[in-house]
Chains A and B, each alone.
Chain A
Amino acid sequence: KQEVTQIPAALSVPEGENLVLNCSFTDSAIYNLQWFRQDPGKGLTSLLLIQSSQREQTSGRLNASLDKSSGRSTLYIAASQPGDSATYLCAVRNSGTYKYIFGTGTRLKVLA
C-alpha cells in the first residue's frame, strides 16, 4: 500500500533563503507525482507535475525533482518570499490506478 510522507511538518525561514521540502513514498511504481500549495481555508493550487519518466520540472523559482528508485521527491524554492507562506502537499498516483495518495503537508512560514 502506497504511503506518502512529508518532512518536516512545519518550517520557518527568513526571507530570501533557498529551501527544500521533502516528499517520500513507499512504492516506486508511480505514474506521476504532483506538488500543490494550499493557503489557509482554501483549495489546492497545482505547482508542478512530474511524470514517472521525468527527473525534474521547473516553474519560475520552483524546481521539483523525482527519484523513483529511492522513493523521493524534493521541491526547491529559490529566494523565498513572505508570499510563499502556505502548506505544501505532494501527491502520488500509482501506475494502473486513478487514485492519488496525499502526504500530510509541510507548513511553510517565510519571515519578512
Chain B
Amino acid sequence: DGGITQSPKYLFRKEGQNVTLSCEQNLNHDAMYWYRQDPGQGLRLIYYSQIVNDFQKGDIAEGYSVSREKKESFPLTVTSAQKNPTAFYLCASTYQSQYFTDTQYFGPGTRLTVL
C-alpha cells in the first residue's frame, strides 16, 4: 500500500529536550511538508521541501529543523528553542511537475506533549 507513515503516534517531551518526528512516504513524491495544528485552528506550515537536499522555511519555522537526505524521508526535529511545542504535527507530500500538481496526501499525525 502506498502512503505516508508518521511515528510515533504520541510523543512526550521534557523541558529542554530535542525530539525528532519521523515522516516516510512511498508515493515517489518530490515535495514534502510539515504542518502544525493547534486546537480549533487550521494548519500552519513549518517547513517544506521540493527536492532532496533542499528545503524552505514556512510561516512558523523558529524552533524547528528538518533534513531531506532521501526522497522518501523528511524528519522534523523540535528543538528546545520552540517554546510552545505541544500540538498535533502533520506531514504531507505531493507530486509536482512543471505541468501538473496532484493533491496533498497526509500522514496520520504525531501528537506531541510537553511535560
Q: B-facing mask of A68-112, CB < 8 A → 1, else 0?
A: 000000000000000000000101010000111011110000000
Indicate if the CB atoms of A42 and B104 lie closer than 8 Å.
no
Indicate if the CB atoms of A104 and B41 lie closer than 8 Å.
yes
By size class, the interface of chain B is 20 to 34
Q: A-facing mask of B86-115, CB < 8 A → 1, else 0?
A: 001010100010000111111111010000
> Given B6, B104, B107, B109, which contacts A100 in the complex, CB threshold below 8 Å?
B104
By size class, the interface of chain A is 20 to 34
Q: Secondary structure of the B side of the interface?
A: strand
Q: Is B50 an interface residue (CB 8 A)?
A: yes
Instruction: List B contacts of A31 (CB < 8 A).
Output: 101
> Given A45, A104, A105, which contacts B106 in the complex, CB threshold below 8 Å?
A45
**Residue with the greatest number of chain B CB neighbours at <10 A, chosen from A44, A49, A102:** A44
